[in-house]
C-alpha cells in the first residue's frame, strides 16, 4: 500500500466452532460419528421428538473448561444455557441450545490475540441437498442426517485483534495446534470439526473507531480463510475509496470462484429470541471440576515454542513451526531423544541432561538446531499434510541421518538424497550410505579429494588464473567439477577451501 494516499488497517475478529471429540453427544447418549450411514446415531433427544429433554454431557463441560484454562479465560462458576430460536430442517427442536449472556468462559488470550468468550453449544444436523449442484439452489430435494445433531461444540470468539489475512491463518494454526494438544477435538477443517467465521472491517491506519463489519462464512480451510479475508479487505477498501458505504451483511465464501456472495438478508436478519433454557439447570463449575481440567492440561504449543527457543536454542520461527504443528514437535523431540538415547534407556531424560550439561552453547543445542533444520526438508518430501511419524522415516532413522551430517560422515547434498530415498522406501540411512559408497570425502581421508581438486584446477587453468587474480566468482566451475566427480560426497565449503589453498588464494586476502 506504499504510495497510496490513505493506508488502511484491517480489523479482524474470528469466531471458531470446535466439535468436541467426546464419546457421546452434548445432550444425549448417542455416539458421535463421522461418515457412518445416516440417522443411525439418533434418539428422542437429538431428533427433537415430543417430550424429550436434554441432559448435559459432563465430558463436554470438562473439555470446555480445559479450553478455557488453556486460553487463560476467566471461568464462570455459574453459567447458563439459552435457547436460540429459529426454524430450519437441520434444527430438530426449532431452537439451538447455546450459551448467551453468561458463557462458560470470558476473556483470555492465545498468543497475540485476546479471547472475548468461550461457550458451549450443540451442533445442528447435516443437510444433504440431492441434485447435481450439491447446493440448495437447484437441488431436487434435501435430506437430513441427524447423526451430527447434538454434537458438542465449543464456540471461541476472539477480540478484533487480528490485523491481516496471514495473521488470521497463522493464529488459527496456533489455535488448532493448541486444541489438538489438549486432545479435545479432531480439529479437521475439511470434515468440519473446526470451522472458522471472520468478522472483517477496515479503517484508516491509526484510526480508533471501527468500520462497518461484514461476517464471512464457509471458509473451511486455512487457505480459504486467508483468501476469503484478503478478498473481503480488498473489496471493502475499494468501496471506501469509491466513497461507498459498506453494508453490514453475511457473506458466503465460494472457494471455487474465490468470490464472496451475500446470503439472502432473510437468512441473516434473525431475531433469535434468546431466553434461558428451562430444561437445564445452571452449569456450576466446581473447584473439583476446575482441578480436574487443569490437571489434564498438557504443555501447550506457546509454552513448547518458548521452550524450544530458550532451552534448545532454536530460532523463533523454527520453534513455532515445530511447536504449532504438534506432530512435528513430537517428531522432533522423539528424534532428539533417539539421538541421545544410545547411552541411556530414557532418551528424553538424557537429552535434557545433555542440554543442561552442555550449557547454552553446548552440543546438545547445536544438535537440536541441526535436527530442527532438517524437519522442513522431511516435510517437503512427505507432503505438508502428513504426520512424519506415519512416514517411512521413523525418528530414529532421521536422527541417525542428522548425526551423520553433524559428524561430517556425509555431505549435506548426499544427506538430502538419502532422505529422499528413506521417504520413498524406508531403510537404514547408514546402510544406504555404505551400500552406495556415499561416505563423505574429506581432505583428511586418503587424499582422494585432494587428487580430484588438483585435477579440477588443472582442467580449467583460465578460471584458476582469475581466482588467483582475485576474481572469487570464477571459482564456481572448478567447484562444480569436483562435485560432479565426487557425486556430491564432498562438502562444498571444504572443496572451496581446498581449491583456494591449492591456487594460493585465501579468503579475505585478495591478491595475496
Partner 1 sequence: MLELTGAQAAARVRARELDPRELFDAYRDRAAADELNAFTWVADGPPELAPDAQAPLAGVPVAVKDLFCTEGVPSQAGSRILEGYRPPYTATVVAKLLEAGAPLLAKTNQDEFAMGSSTENSAFGPVLNPWDRARVPGGSSGGSAAAVAAGLAPWAIGTDTGGSIRQPAALCGIVGLKPTYGACSRYGMIAFASSLDQAGPLTRDVTDAALLLRHMVGHDRHDSTSVRFPGPIELPSAEDLRGVRLGVPEELIGGGQDGAGIEPGVRANFEATLRLAEALGASVELCRLPHAPHALSAYYLIAPAEASANLARFDGVRYGLRVDGSRDLESMYMATRSAGFGTEVKRRIMLGTYALSSGYYDAYYGTAQKVRTKIADDFRAVFEQFDFVVTPTSPWTAFELGAKTDDPLAMYLNDFCTVPMPLAGIPAISIPSGLSAGLPVGFQLAGPAFSETRLLDAAYALERTIGFDGSAARR
Contacts to partner 1 by CB under 8 A: 44, 47-56, 83, 85, 87, 89, 92-95, 144, 271, 273-275, 278-281
In whole angstroms, what is the distance from residue 151 CA to residue 191 CA? 13
To partner 1, the closest distance from the beta carbon of 99 in angstroms equals 15
Residue closer to partner 1 (CB basis): 14 or 30: 30
Residue closer to partner 1 (CB basis): 54 or 301: 54
Neighbours of 287 (CB within 10 A): 8
Q: Is 508 exposed, middle or buried (0-12, 13-18, 19+ CB in 10 A)?
A: exposed
What DSSP letter does each residue of 251-281 carry, written as one string?
A: EEEETTTTEEEEPPHHHH------EE-TTS-
To partner 1, the closest distance from the beta carbon of 81 in angstroms equals 10
Residue closer to partner 1 (CB basis): 89 or 447: 89
In whole angstroms, what is the distance from residue 204 CA to residue 238 CA? 13
To partner 1, the closest distance from the beta carbon of 250 in angstroms equals 17
Residue closer to partner 1 (CB basis): 282 or 359: 282
| Helix/strand number for the chain, H first, E second | 17, 17
Beta strands in 331-406 (DSSP E): none
Q: Which of 399, 397, 405, 385 is nearest to 423 (CA)?
A: 397
Residue closer to partner 1 (CB basis): 144 or 182: 144
Residue closer to partner 1 (CB basis): 44 or 426: 44
- Do the Cβ atoms of 478 and 499 come closer than 8 Å? yes
- Do the Cβ atoms of 393 and 428 come closer than 8 Å? no
Residue recorded with cell 466446581: 286
CA distances from 298 to 68, 381, 425, 507 (A): 14, 30, 35, 51
Residue closer to partner 1 (CB basis): 53 or 472: 53
Residue closer to partner 1 (CB basis): 55 or 484: 55
Q: For the packed helices 461-468 and 448-459, what is the interaxial angle rounded to 10 degrees? A: 90
Residue closer to partner 1 (CB basis): 54 or 388: 54
Residue closer to partner 1 (CB basis): 53 or 207: 53
Q: Which cell numbers hold the place of 298?
A: 498438557
In whole angstroms, what is the distance from residue 319 CA to residue 257 CA? 36
To partner 1, the closest distance from the beta carbon of 373 in angstroms equals 55
Neighbours of 22 (CB within 10 A): 20
In whole angstroms, what is the distance from residue 68 CA to residue 161 CA? 18
Q: Which of 271, 250, 38 is nearest to 142 (CA)?
A: 38
Residue closer to partner 1 (CB basis): 98 or 341: 98
To partner 1, the closest distance from the beta carbon of 290 in angstroms equals 21
- Do the Cβ atoms of 268 and 249 come closer than 8 Å? yes
To partner 1, the closest distance from the beta carbon of 224 in angstroms equals 28
Residue closer to partner 1 (CB basis): 129 or 430: 129
DSSP label of 24: B
- Do the Cβ atoms of 201 and 217 come closer than 8 Å? no
Residue closer to partner 1 (CB basis): 57 or 505: 57
Q: Which of 34, 29, 387 is nearest to 193 (CA)?
A: 34
CA distances from 395 to 106, 165, 232, 336, 460 (A): 41, 34, 43, 8, 44
In whole angstroms, what is the distance from residue 70 CA to residue 62 CA? 12
To partner 1, the closest distance from the beta carbon of 249 in angstroms equals 18
DSSP label of 370: H
Q: Are strands 126-130 and 194-204 parallel, antiparallel or unpaired?
A: unpaired
- β-bridge partners, 198: 14, 216
To partner 1, the closest distance from the beta carbon of 35 in angstroms equals 23
To partner 1, the closest distance from the beta carbon of 121 in angstroms equals 15
To partner 1, the closest distance from the beta carbon of 128 in angstroms equals 14
To partner 1, the closest distance from the beta carbon of 40 in angstroms equals 14
In whole angstroms, what is the distance from residue 91 CA to residue 103 CA? 21
To partner 1, the closest distance from the beta carbon of 82 in angstroms equals 10
To partner 1, the closest distance from the beta carbon of 125 in angstroms equals 10
Amino acid at each position: 500500500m506504499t504510495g497510496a494516499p490513505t493506508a488502511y488497517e484491517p480489523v479482524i475478529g474470528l469466531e471458531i466452532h470446535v466439535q468436541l471429540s467426546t464419546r457421546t453427544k452434548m445432550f444425549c447418549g448417542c455416539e458421535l460419528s463421522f461418515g457412518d450411514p445416516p440417522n443411525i446415531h439418533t434418539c428422542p433427544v437429538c431428533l427433537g421428538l415430543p417430550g424429550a429433554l436434554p441432559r448435559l454431557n459432563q465430558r463436554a463441560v470438562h473439555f470446555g473448561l480445559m479450553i478455557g484454562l488453556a486460553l487463560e479465560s476467566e471461568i464462570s462458576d455459574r453459567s447458563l444455557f439459552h435457547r436460540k430460536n429459529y426454524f430450519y430442517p437441520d434444527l430438530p427442536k426449532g431452537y439451538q441450545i447455546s450459551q448467551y449472556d453468561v458463557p462458560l468462559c470470558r476473556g483470555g488470550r492465545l498468543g497475540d490475540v485476546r479471547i472475548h468468550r468461550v461457550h458451549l453449544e450443540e451442533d445442528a444436523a447435516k443437510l444433504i441437498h440431492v441434485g447435481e449442484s450439491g447446493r440448495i439452489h437447484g437441488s431436487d430435494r434435501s435430506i437430513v442426517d441427524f447423526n451430527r445433531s447434538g454434537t458438542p461444540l465449543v464456540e471461541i470468539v476472539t477480540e478484533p485483534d487480528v490485523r491481516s489475512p496471514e495473521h488470521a491463518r497463522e493464529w488459527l494454526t496456533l489455535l488448532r495446534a493448541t486444541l489438538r494438544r489438549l486432545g479435545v477435538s479432531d480439529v479437521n477443517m475439511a470434515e468440519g470439526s473446526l470451522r472458522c467465521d471472520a468478522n472483517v472491517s477496515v479503517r484508516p491506519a491509526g484510526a480508533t473507531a471501527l468500520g462497518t463489519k461484514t461476517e464471512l462464512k464457509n471458509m473451511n480451510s486455512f487457505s480459504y480463510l486467508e483468501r476469503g479475508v484478503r478478498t473481503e479487505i480488498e473489496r471493502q477498501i475499494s468501496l471506501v475509496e469509491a466513497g461507498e458505504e459498506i453494508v453490514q451483511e453475511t457473506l458466503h465464501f465460494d472457494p471455487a470462484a474465490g468470490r464472496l456472495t451475500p446470503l439472502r438478508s432473510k437468512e441473516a436478519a434473525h431475531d433469535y429470541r434468546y431466553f434461558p433454557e428451562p430444561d437445564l439447570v445452571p452449569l456450576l463449575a466446581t473447584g473439583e471440576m476446575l482441578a480436574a481440567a487443569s490437571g489434564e492440561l498438557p504443555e501447550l504449543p506457546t509454552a513448547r515454542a518458548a521452550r524450544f527457543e530458550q532451552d534448545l536454542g532454536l530460532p523463533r520461527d523454527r520453534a513455532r513451526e515445530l511447536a504449532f504443528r504438534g506432530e512435528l514437535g513430537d517428531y522432533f523431540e522423539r528424534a532428539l531423544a533417539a539421538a541421545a538415547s544410545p547411552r541411556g534407556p530414557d532418551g528424553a531424560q538424557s537429552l535434557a541432561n545433555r542440554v543442561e550439561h552442555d550449557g547454552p552453547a553446548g552440543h546438545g543445542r547445536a544438535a537440536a538446531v541441526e535436527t530442527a533444520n532438517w524437519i522442513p526438508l522431511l516435510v517437503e518430501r512427505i507432503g505438508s499434510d502428513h504426520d512424519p511419524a506415519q512416514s517411512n522415516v521413523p525418528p530414529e532413522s532421521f536422527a541417525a541421518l542428522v548425526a551423520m551430517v553433524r559428524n561430517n560422515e556425509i555431505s549435506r547434498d548426499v544427506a538430502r538424497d538419502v532422505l529422499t530415498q528413506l521417504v520413498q522406501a524406508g531403510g537404514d540411512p547408514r546402510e544406504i550410505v555404505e551400500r552406495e559408497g556415499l561416505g563423505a570425502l574429506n581432505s583428511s581421508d586418503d587424499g582422494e579429494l585432494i587428487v580430484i581438486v588438483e585435477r579440477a584446477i588443472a582442467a580449467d587453468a583460465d578460471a584458476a588464473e582469475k581466482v588467483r587474480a582475485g576474481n572469487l566468482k570464477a571459482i564456481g566451475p572448478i567447484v562444480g567439477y569436483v562435485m560432479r566427480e565426487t557425486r556430491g560426497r564432498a562438502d562444498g565449503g571444504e572443496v572451496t577451501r581446498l581449491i583456494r589453498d591449492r591456487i594460493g588464494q585465501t579468503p579475505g586476502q585478495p591478491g595475496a
